[in-house]
RNA sequence: GUGGGCGUAGCUCAGUUGGUUAGAGCGCCUGGUUGUGGUCCAGGAGGUCGGGGGUUCGACUCCCCUCGCUCACCCCA
């Protein structure tokens, strides 16, 4: 309705009606349960931050698409991701924290961009971070947590595959060349390389020689290297004794111990679009290849120091709520979730309401989800409502029952009825 | 930003070469007596057919503009 456009949420944002919020809560419940089993602690931060926290100069889209505004002379922004906020929290208390930390958060992120399937302008993200651990044991733990989540929501083991690479490996190949005198060129270089699937090898080669300043030879070597899909082959392209290659080998060993190595493959084209990644990077994709990345992450050993904190190694991933729901929908795995009302208490007339209130209080104190019918509709109506709410029982208190000091309890599944004593009136 | 598709009841949609009071399913409301749900039956409410303009005796139907939604490209979480 054009007339009612003001009633629609802004483009790319969502309302969550009860059905949709139940589904979201179901998903978040799995996020939290996996995090619990992996012994991560939940944290949270404001959705609005100082814009500076997110603004970097490597040409990332995530910065260009920032929702930001000036208010009373302050430049603020809606967070586009959670990692900077968590990093900020760590820095503020770095002196009092014991590392490594295992933290996670589930929060809404904002990015002003065009929409397609699986992408909106706001989305919730499960963000899991290991802070203060330099070894790939951190990445292995993170990747294992992701697969645990996939398994829990019912996806077959073949439905999602993880692609892994290491930016450190790429950096090693350039250390004696273009990066010798200006290591700071590495971040924008990665941002450029990340575009290869979209703008093509030639355009990336042009950008590498033009904007980044590689020689034609270096650029060609880099672009060729992106096609490599074997760790051995990739390792052969870097100097002997490559630390990055050894790390990747160790990572695959550990993933084998976690039982997920066969779902993970080396892929040199994975570099991720965020500037701050420094080491292992990874992305999970649906096997059908019809959706965008389900989740992704990697190691960012320099970010915390760049933000003004100590030199603290860190790794983490972000896992959005939108793509996974699309994927589950494609697999017919979205659950039908009903309301969780257990009992409905109904006073036939206002005279019985105090007794109904005492009754519903007792049920609630016993931990049951109990709804008190607020008006005095006909019994037929109250039962219909109870039925539709999925309640197991309706407790009816009318003049007869009140006189006998009982409630008539009907089991809505079996239709059987019994009497339950009313609580006495003194409580 | 580019290209395609679509905008008809709360929801999902149908609407015959433009022709009389615009339909269905689901949902909602009422009733099938007097305090009993799910099933069934019978009724009912609800739409200026996204908005504006044009063509026509006549437009939901054709044309133009506009707004919105959506998919792909693009790009990224």
Residue A378 beta carbon within 7 A of nucleic strand B: yes
**Nearest Cα residue to A266 out of A248, A284, A254, A242:** A248
Q: What is the pLDDT of residue A3?
A: 40
The answer to whether A272 and A283 are in contact (CB under 8 A) is yes
Q: Decide: CB of A399 under 7 A of nucleic strand B.
A: yes
Strand B within 7 A of A419 CB:
no
User: What pLDDT, on a 0 to 100 scale, did the predictor assign at position A426?
Assistant: 60
pLDDT digits 0-9 by tens, A39-91: 999 999 999 999 999 988 777 777 778 888 899 999 999 999 999 999 999 99
Supply the pLDDT for residue A6: 57
Neighbour count for residue A258 (Cβ, 10 Å): 15
- Domains in chain A with CATH codes: 14-330 (3.30.930.10), 343-421 (3.40.50.800)
Considering only residues 91-130 of protein chain A, which place a Cβ less than 7 A from any atom of strand B? 109, 111, 113-117, 119-121, 123, 125
Task: Output the pLDDT for position A371.
Answer: 95
Q: Per-residue b/e over A54-91, b at no fewer than 16 CB within 10 Å? A: bebebbbebbeebbbeeeeeeebbbbbbbbbbbbbbbb
pLDDT at A13: 85
What is the model's pLDDT at position A173?
80
Query: How many Å apart are A278 CA and B39 C1'?
Result: 64
Q: Rounded to whole angstroms, how far apart are CA atoms A72 and A150? A: 45
Neighbours of A20 (CB within 10 A): 13
Protein footprint on strand B: which nucleotides are under 7 Å from a CB? 1-2, 7, 28, 30, 35-38, 50-51, 67-77
Q: Report the nucleotide nearest the CA of residue A381, measured to C1'.
A: B37
Query: What Å value separates CA A29 and C1' B64?
Result: 52
Q: Count how many residues are written for chain A.
A: 427
- The whole-number Å distance from A324's CA to B27's C1' is 29
Question: Does strand B come within 7 Å of the CB of A415?
Answer: yes
CB A170: neighbour CB atoms within 10 A? Answer: 25
Q: Is the CB of A201 under 7 A from strand B?
A: no
Show pLDDT as tens, one digit a residue, over chain A (427 residues): 334 455 677 888 888 888 888 889 999 999 999 999 999 999 999 999 999 999 887 777 777 788 888 999 999 999 999 999 999 999 999 999 999 999 999 999 998 887 877 888 899 999 999 999 999 999 999 999 999 999 999 999 999 999 999 999 988 887 777 777 777 888 888 888 877 766 777 778 888 887 788 888 888 888 888 888 889 988 888 877 889 999 999 999 999 999 999 999 999 888 888 889 999 999 999 887 777 889 999 999 999 999 999 999 999 999 999 889 888 888 888 888 888 899 999 999 999 999 999 999 999 999 999 999 999 999 999 999 999 889 999 999 999 999 999 999 999 999 999 999 998 766 5
Whether A163 sits with its Cβ under 7 A from any strand B atom: the answer reads no
Enumerate residues 6+ apart whose C-beta is below 8 A from A227. A268, A269
ipTM over 0.95: no
Tell me the DSSP string of A227-262.
T---HHHHHHTS-TT-HHHHHHHHHHHHHHHHT-GG
Measure A28 CA to B38 C1' (Å).
Answer: 32
C-beta within 7 A of nucleic chain B, residues 209-268 of A: none
**Cα(A409)–Cα(A406) distance, integer angstroms:** 9
Nearest alpha-carbon partner for A176 in A242, A127, A269, A99? A242
């Amino acid at each position: 309705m054009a007339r009612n456009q003001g009633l629609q949420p802004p483009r790319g944002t969502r309302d969550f009606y009860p059905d949709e919020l139940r589904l979201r809560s179901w998903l978040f419940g799995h996020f939290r349960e996996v995090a619990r089993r992996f012994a991560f602690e939940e944290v949270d931060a404001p959705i609005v931050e100082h814009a500076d926290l997110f603004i970097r100069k490597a040409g990332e889209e995530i910065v260009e698409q920032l929702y930001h505004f000036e208010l009373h002379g302050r430049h603020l922004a809606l967070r586009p991701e959670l990692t900077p906020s968590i990093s900020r929290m760590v820095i503020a208390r770095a002196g009092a924290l014991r590392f490594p930390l295992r933290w996670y958060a589930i929060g809404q992120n904002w990015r002003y961009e065009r929409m397609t399937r699986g992408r909106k302008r706001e989305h919730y993200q499960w963000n899991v971070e290991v802070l203060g651990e330099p070894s790939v044991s951190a990445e292995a733990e993170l990747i294992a947590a992701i697969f645990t989540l996939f398994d829990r929501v019912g996806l077959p083991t073949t439905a999602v595959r993880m692609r892994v690479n290491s930016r450190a490996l790429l950096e090693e190949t350039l250390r004696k060349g273009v990066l010798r005198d200006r290591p700071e060129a590495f971040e924008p270089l990665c941002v450029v390389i990340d575009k290869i699937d979209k703008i093509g090898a030639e355009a990336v080669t042009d950008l590498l020689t033009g904007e980044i300043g590689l020689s034609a030879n270096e650029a060609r070597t880099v672009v060729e290297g992106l096609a490599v899909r074997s760790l051995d082959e990739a390792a052969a392209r870097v100097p002997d004794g490559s630390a990055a290659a050894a790390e990747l080998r160790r990572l695959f060993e550990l993933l084998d111990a976690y039982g997920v190595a066969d779902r993970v493959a080396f892929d040199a084209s994975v570099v991720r679009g965020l500037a701050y990644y420094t080491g292992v990077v990874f992305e999970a994709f649906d096997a059908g290849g019809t959706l965008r990345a389900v989740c992704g992450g990697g190691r960012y050993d320099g970010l915390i120091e760049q933000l003004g904190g100590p030199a603290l190694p860190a790794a983490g991933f972000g896992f959005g709520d939108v793509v996974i729901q699309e994927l589950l929908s494609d697999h017919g795995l979205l659950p039908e979730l009903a309301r969780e009302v257990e009992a409905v208490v109904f006073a036939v007339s206002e005279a019985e309401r105090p007794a109904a209130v005492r009754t519903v209080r007792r049920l609630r104190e016993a931990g049951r989800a109990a709804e008190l019918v607020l008006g005095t509709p006909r019994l037929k109506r109250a039962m219909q409502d109870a039925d539709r709410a999925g309640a197991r029982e309706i407790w009816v208190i009318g003049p007869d029952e009140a006189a006998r000091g009982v409630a008539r309890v009907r089991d809505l599944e079996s239709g059987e009825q019994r009497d339950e004593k009313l609580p006495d009136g003194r409580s």
